[in-house]
């Protein structure tokens, strides 16, 4: 098992599905108390399924006005503090740049970038006050490369990396690290939607390790960054892409 997160409280957005759900399980198996947040009301059942006690699900649209401070208030009422924030809630809405609708652009930026910032800001107020915290943002290989039909997604994830750098600078003196992790395609509902069929097979051929990532591999990297051992790592965007972006 290695790491021990006993006594730690981790807020994980998008925890009803995919990477967020795997991260929740990974932390819960190592003793953390999980506050899972998701648009889907299946978050309640997802939290009930985790090992250990005291987990709490919050059904919330993180793009709604005031959502982030409401989540942090509810987390503080339920668990007393916040040690770790993982921003995993995200959407992928694909079209060519010439055809992309305003709705697709606005929704992508609103969920992937704005909601992640507002959650980091609200959690960061608690963490900087107590002098310790870990924030990990789910970016993507799309933060460092261009992908066909991914104009809104790439822009949202590159923005998330810029945000990560500034928060890391401002909060490092107060004991809070802020990092981004950037996977290649991960085999989750979102990954399968964006990379189904021939397109996915072609993509796998471009990844030196020859496959897509599994959610547990991403969870393990996030857990490392959330641990005490990672205190000197902040402001980074760590690729977990089987070598794709280095070729």
Ligand X SMILES: NC(=O)c1ccc[n+]([C@@H]2O[C@H](COP(=O)([O-])OP(=O)(O)OC[C@H]3O[C@@H](n4cnc5c(N)ncnc54)[C@H](O)[C@@H]3O)[C@@H](O)[C@H]2O)c1
Contacts with ligand X, residue ranges (CB under 6 A): 13-14, 16-20, 38-40, 61-63, 88-91, 111-112, 138, 140, 183, 185-186, 188-191
Decide whether 159 or 229 has the Cβ nearer to ligand X.
159
Q: How far is the CB of 42 from ligand X (least distance, A)?
A: 8
The CA distances from residue 136 to 3, 50, 112, 170, in Å, are 17, 21, 13, 15
Pick the catalytic residue from 26, 153, 224, 244. Answer: 153
Contacts of residue 81, Cβ cutoff 8 Å, sequence gap at least 6: 9, 126, 130
Q: Is 29 exposed, middle or buried (0-12, 13-18, 19+ CB in 10 A)?
A: middle
Q: How far is the CB of 31 from ligand X (least distance, A)?
A: 23
Got the DSSP string for 114-173? IIHHHHHHHHHHHHHHHT-EEEEEE--GGGTS--TTBHHHHHHHHHHHHHHHHHHHHHGG
Residue listed under structure tokens 């990974």: 26
Note if 26 is an active site residue.
no
Contacts of residue 127, Cβ cutoff 8 Å, sequence gap at least 6: 82, 83, 85, 133, 135, 171, 174, 175, 176
What distance in Å separates the CA atoms of residue 144 and residue 150, rounded to the nearest whole number?
Answer: 12
Contact call for residues 142 and 153 (beta carbons, < 8 A): yes
Decide whether 111 or 126 has the Cβ nearer to ligand X.
111
Decide whether 42 or 128 has the Cβ nearer to ligand X.
42
Decide whether 176 or 218 has the Cβ nearer to ligand X.
218
Q: How far is the CB of 70 from ligand X (least distance, A)?
A: 12
Q: How far is the CB of 211 from ligand X (least distance, A)?
A: 12
Q: How far is the CB of 170 from ligand X (least distance, A)?
A: 23
Decide whether 132 or 192 has the Cβ nearer to ligand X.
192
As annotated, the active-site residues are 153
């Amino acid at each position: 098992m290695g790491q021990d997160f006993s006594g730690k409280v981790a807020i994980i957005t998008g925890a009803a599905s995919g990477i967020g759900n795997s991260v929740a399980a990974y932390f819960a198996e190592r003793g953390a108390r999980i506050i899972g947040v998701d648009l889907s009301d299946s978050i309640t059942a997802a939290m009930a399924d985790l090992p250990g006690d005291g987990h709490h699900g919050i059904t919330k649209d993180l793009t709604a006005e005031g959502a982030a401070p409401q989540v942090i208030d509810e987390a503080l009422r339920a668990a007393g503090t916040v040690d770790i924030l993982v921003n995993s809630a995200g959407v992928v809405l694909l079209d060519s740049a010439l055809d992309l609708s305003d709705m697709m652009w606005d929704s992508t930026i609103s969920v992937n970038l704005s909601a992640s910032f507002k959650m980091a800001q609200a959690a960061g107020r608690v963490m900087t006050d107590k002098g310790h915290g870990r924030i990990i943002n789910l970016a993507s290989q799309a933060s460092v490369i261009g992908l066909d039909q991914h104009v809104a997604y790439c822009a949202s994830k590159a923005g998330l990396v810029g945000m990560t750098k500034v928060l890391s600078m401002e909060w490092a003196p107060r004991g809070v690290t802020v990092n981004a992790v950037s996977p290649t395609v991960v085999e989750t509902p979102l990954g399968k939607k964006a990379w189904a069929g021939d397109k996915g097979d072609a993509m796998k051929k471009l990844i030196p390790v020859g496959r897509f990532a599994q959610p547990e591999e991403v969870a393990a990297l996030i857990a490392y960054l959330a641990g005490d051992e990672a205190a000197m790592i902040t402001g980074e965007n760590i690729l977990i892409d089987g070598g794709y972006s280095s070729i």
